[in-house]
A and B are shown apart, each in its own frame.
Chain A
Amino acid sequence: MIVEVGHYALILALALSIIQGVLPLIGAQLGYDSWVAVARPVAIIQFGFVSISFAALTCAYVGSDFSVLNVAMNSHSAKPLLYKVSGVWGNHEGSLLLWVLILTLFAATVAVFGGNLPPDLRARVLSVQALIGAGFLLFMLLASNPFERLVPAPLEGQGLNPLLQDPGLAFHPPFLYLGYVGFSMAFSFAVAALIEGRVDAAWARWVRPWTLAAWCFLTLGIALGSWWAYYELGWGGFWFWDPVENASLMPWLAGTALLHTALVVEKRDALKSWTILLAILTFSLSLLGTFLVRSGVLTSVHAFATDPARGVFILMFLVLVVGGSLTLFAIRAPGLKSGGLFAPVSREGALILNNLLLTTACATVLLGTLYPLFLDALTGEKVSVGPPYFHATFVPLMAPAIVAAGIGPLLAWKRGDLVGALGRLRAALAVTVAVALATLVFAAEAPVLAVSGVALGTWLVAASLGDFVERIRLFRGPFGETRRRAKHLPRAAYGVTIAHAGAGIAVLGIVVSATWESERLQVVKVGDSVPVGGYEFTFRGIQDARGANYNAVRGIFDVTRGGDPVAVMTPETRVYDTPRQTTTEAAIRPTPTADLYAVIGDPNGAGGWATRLYHKPLVHWIWFGAILMAVGGFVSLSDRRHRVGAPRRRTARVGTRAGTSQAAKA
């Protein structure tokens, strides 16, 4: 019964999304106020119906109702509750439902909190958002119905892929989708602005918080995913340049560019068409990711349920959404007036450089991901593009972006002073040089590339903090003055400092852990000691253990340093009951400067066990940095400007001009 309610709610949601997608759009065009007024209540009710639908499916999972095909295929009664719940979105149909839930959530949020938006703009935004939702709802009801019944119902379900039964991965998709789908807001605003033919500072101010929030969530989602790969795949790597990983990286890169360029529209009324285009591209890349993951056009380690028929539907949808919006762009964008001239060396100039580098990097990833497909379509040849390509193209593009990110925030709008900015970064430069030299002298083996990487990361952290210290005049004046300045510094400035420093910390983590990792792969017998990175790993033996729905073989290692005990590490190999599958659970022991990482493999039949032991310096900085980036985004999001919301259009422009001249003086 509950399941039918869920199914029916989904059908009602589709009907509402069509109403919401059509009426307000026409109403805004022809000036029918009552049609425009439909948008808000319908958006909220539609979210209500999708929530009911989602709750119904969750109910079916928690209650292990195997008469539902989706539950029978993906769940099992002996699974812990957390994974019963995360099982809802651990499959193709359920994850689509989560997609739509978040999509309608964002629309409802605009409807509830968008009181200060001009009614026509709000109506158009909600319409575009609803049309995207209609496409997904139609797709679910026609080709991927999560509520399909199974008669007769089996007594037991087939279980969730054990690799996915993990707390890190349980929350990875919701964050990822909050990011992907969050960019749909920027997209809807862009399309609405193209229909209106007007993009101004006020528009940018409305779009930015949505983009920023989506970006923060996507950052967290990607970080969670790579953290999961790090400890669950048991391979010690955290990024494999797999098509599915690239699918999440591309919207992130484009979204990062969008975040920065929307700032230029807001402050300087320039770069409008480019910003609109980026908003369209960012969401298009999110959709492309969905297509790649679900259509089976590319081989990947973690492709979803792949089905060409679904691929055809998503491709048609993709053509409609992306092709439609780009056509609109081609027609309307030339009419957008752009103001705000600026010199090449200026905040705008730095942000354009940032955009060029980020979008080029995004394009190289796109090319690397789709190249096998292109070549196959054109010549029938098959290739697989691996990390060597991405390392050769992506890394050199990011290096100048990092240098620029250190300087950019110090340049004034319109016309900046590069020499002055560098002068204010003297301390940061000195720290960077000192750290680079220290690396050269003290590190056992220091390849030039690694030292440059360390210098880049240090530079970004030092420059971000240096700029902040300069702004609050720390140690330069009386403490009261510093406190007053710190208090009056906008939250957005704190956000920039935190996020940029976070990026620098992540860079340091990536470079240092990749360069100075020590690993020992060998067969050990009980009592054997293995030295790794200054630590002694002593193998104490094997235990058998039983978990909720798996049997485990647990290796026990005593770890000591200079004779002092540091930790007992217990890596496991688990064999799950249903489906019968083996997973590795690495034991990870973080120390302040490194991760100790142990994996137990198969027995060799003669009392020995294959083991892999790693010492990974600074590897946790990667995720710490990513979290800082997201925190910086959230801090910036809490800025007064966003909370108060943008005032009406006319006054907004005047206000922005005033703000700009102040910023230029500061």
Chain B
Amino acid sequence: MRIGHTLPLGLFAIVAVALGVGLTLDPRLIPSALIGDPIPDFSLPPVDGRPDGLAAADLRTGEVAIVNVFASWCGPCRIEHPLLMEVARRGAVPVHGINYKDLPRNALAWLERYGDPYRRVGSDRTGRVSIDWGVYGVPETFVVDRRGRIAYKHVGPMMPEDMHQRILPLVRELQGG
């Protein structure tokens, strides 16, 4: 019985430590797996009702590209969305989307509401392709270089400084080289 009664305290201690560690972390910081690796082979159908799907071949055309993983049920995706719209409007670099575990009608409605910055969107209903990309959750954003390798990865919603101070300069650098 004694152990049973101390169990809640033990569990809380674990939660408290995790919360404490959590305070020291930035939920938007970047881990760097897969950087420099070639993109996986994949082919995704379009979101029903939207024209173009996304496949590995579309990213091996010798063009630098941004690939954004999103879902309509993902709150933080809404935060970064205006940034993607802005990049798409300028047209300096193509933005593609992978729609992660989403219902097509929800995805379409979402794009209609917040705007559609994507040149191509692949619908990853099961999330299998996203696993190959090393996606932990949504949103995540990749920069793919001219040779079809992952040059950069951002986890979580992008803030203006992420886009303007890291991603876009990197894109320009890759486009120049």
Task: Enumerate chain A residues within 8 angstroms of B139, measured Cβ to Cβ.
Answer: 384
B-contacting residues, A318-333, CB 8 Å: 318-319, 322-323, 326-327, 329-330, 333
In the complex the two chains form, what is the Cα distance from A297 to B19 in whole Å?
8
- B76 and A315 form a contact (CB under 8 A): no
- A329 and B112 form a contact (CB under 8 A): no
Task: Enumerate chain B residues within 8 angstroms of A388, measured Cβ to Cβ.
Answer: 73, 101
Distance of A601 from chain B, by nearest CB (Å): 6
Given A315-B20, A521-B112, decide whether A383 and B137 contact each other with a Cβ distance below 8 A.
Answer: yes
- B18 and A383 form a contact (CB under 8 A): no
Task: Enumerate chain A residues within 8 angstroms of B23, measured Cβ to Cβ.
Answer: 295, 297, 308, 311-312, 315
Residue of B nearest to A382 (CB): B155
Residue of A nearest to B7 (CB): A330
Given A521-B108, A612-B113, decide whether A329 and B73 contact each other with a Cβ distance below 8 A.
Answer: no
Report if B91 contacts A (CB, 8 A): no
From the candidates A295, A301, A319, A333, name the one contacting B78 in the complex (CB within 8 A).
A301
Report if A386 contacts B (CB, 8 A): yes
- A301 and B113 form a contact (CB under 8 A): no
A-contacting residues, B128-164, CB 8 Å: 136-139, 155-157
Distance of A427 from chain B, by nearest CB (Å): 39
Report if A381 contacts B (CB, 8 A): yes
- B19 and A382 form a contact (CB under 8 A): no
Report if A32 contacts B (CB, 8 A): no
Interface size on B, residues (CB 8 A): 42
- A323 and B13 form a contact (CB under 8 A): yes
Report if A22 contacts B (CB, 8 A): no
Residue of A nearest to B72 (CB): A235
Task: Enumerate chain A residues within 8 angstroms of B13, measured Cβ to Cβ.
Answer: 323
Report if B57 contacts A (CB, 8 A): no
- A386 and B74 form a contact (CB under 8 A): yes
Given A326-B12, A519-B109, A601-B112, decide whether A334 and B75 contact each other with a Cβ distance below 8 A.
Answer: no
Residue of B nearest to A292 (CB): B19
Report if B71 contacts A (CB, 8 A): yes
Report if B27 contacts A (CB, 8 A): yes
Given A240-B73, A301-B76, A521-B108, decide whether A374 and B27 contact each other with a Cβ distance below 8 A.
Answer: no
From the candidates B22, B25, B113, B137, name the one contacting A385 in the complex (CB within 8 A).
B137
Report if B177 contacts A (CB, 8 A): no
Distance of A525 from chain B, by nearest CB (Å): 16
Given A326-B8, A330-B9, A382-B136, decide whether A301 and B75 contact each other with a Cβ distance below 8 A.
Answer: yes
A-contacting residues, B101-126, CB 8 Å: 101, 105, 108-109, 112-113
Report if A273 contacts B (CB, 8 A): yes
Residue of B nearest to A234 (CB): B113
- B9 and A382 form a contact (CB under 8 A): no
In the complex the two chains form, what is the Cα distance from A388 to B126 in whole Å?
11
From the candidates A311, A330, A381, name the one contacting B136 in the complex (CB within 8 A).
A381
Given A315-B16, A521-B108, decide whether A329 and B74 contact each other with a Cβ distance below 8 A.
Answer: no
- B19 and A372 form a contact (CB under 8 A): no
- A323 and B16 form a contact (CB under 8 A): yes
Task: Enumerate chain B residues within 8 angstroms of A519, measured Cβ to Cβ.
Answer: 105, 109
- A273 and B78 form a contact (CB under 8 A): no
1/0 per position for B15-54, CB-CB distance to A under 8 A? 1111111110101110100000000000000000000000
Report if A300 contacts B (CB, 8 A): yes
- Secondary structure type dominating chain A contacts: helix
1/0 per position for A350-381, CB-CB distance to B under 8 A? 00000000000000000000101110110011
Given A384-B74, A521-B108, A521-B112, decide whether A326 and B27 contact each other with a Cβ distance below 8 A.
Answer: no
Distance of A310 from chain B, by nearest CB (Å): 10
From the candidates B17, B22, B71, name the one contacting A297 in the complex (CB within 8 A).
B22
Report if B5 contacts A (CB, 8 A): yes
In the complex the two chains form, what is the Cα distance from A277 to B9 in whole Å?
10
- A382 and B137 form a contact (CB under 8 A): yes
- A334 and B27 form a contact (CB under 8 A): no
- B75 and A300 form a contact (CB under 8 A): yes
- B9 and A240 form a contact (CB under 8 A): no
Distance of B156 from chain A, by nearest CB (Å): 6
Residue of B nearest to A318 (CB): B16
Task: Enumerate chain B residues within 8 angstroms of A326, measured Cβ to Cβ.
Answer: 8-9, 12
Report if A281 contacts B (CB, 8 A): yes
Report if A242 contacts B (CB, 8 A): yes
Distance of A13 from chain B, by nearest CB (Å): 28
In the complex the two chains form, what is the Cα distance from A373 to B74 in whole Å?
17
In the complex the two chains form, what is the Cα distance from A373 to B25 in whole Å?
9
In the complex the two chains form, what is the Cα distance from A374 to B27 in whole Å?
11
In the complex the two chains form, what is the Cα distance from A280 to B9 in whole Å?
11
Residue of A nearest to B26 (CB): A296
The interface centre, meaning the residue of A291, A299, A384 with most chain B CB atoms within 10 A of its CB, is A384
Report if A63 contacts B (CB, 8 A): no
Report if A610 contacts B (CB, 8 A): yes
Report if A115 contacts B (CB, 8 A): no
Distance of A380 from chain B, by nearest CB (Å): 5
In the complex, the 8 A-B pairs of residues with the closest C-beta atoms, listed nearest first: A384-B137, A383-B137, A377-B21, A301-B75, A326-B9, A297-B22, A330-B6, A382-B155
Q: What are 19 A-B residue pairs whose CB atoms fall within 8 Å in the complex?
A: A299-B27, A301-B79, A315-B16, A326-B12, A329-B9, A330-B2, A330-B8, A370-B15, A372-B27, A372-B137, A373-B22, A373-B27, A376-B25, A382-B31, A382-B137, A383-B136, A384-B74, A384-B139, A386-B137
- A296-B27, A385-B137 known; 14 new pairs, CB 8 Å cut-off, are A298-B27, A299-B76, A315-B23, A329-B8, A329-B9, A377-B18, A377-B21, A383-B136, A384-B137, A384-B139, A386-B74, A387-B73, A388-B73, A610-B112
Q: Which residues of A contact B (CB under 8 A)?
A: 234-235, 240, 242, 273, 277, 280-281, 284, 291, 295-301, 308, 311-312, 315, 318-319, 322-323, 326-327, 329-330, 333-334, 370, 372-374, 376-377, 380-388, 519, 521, 601, 610, 612
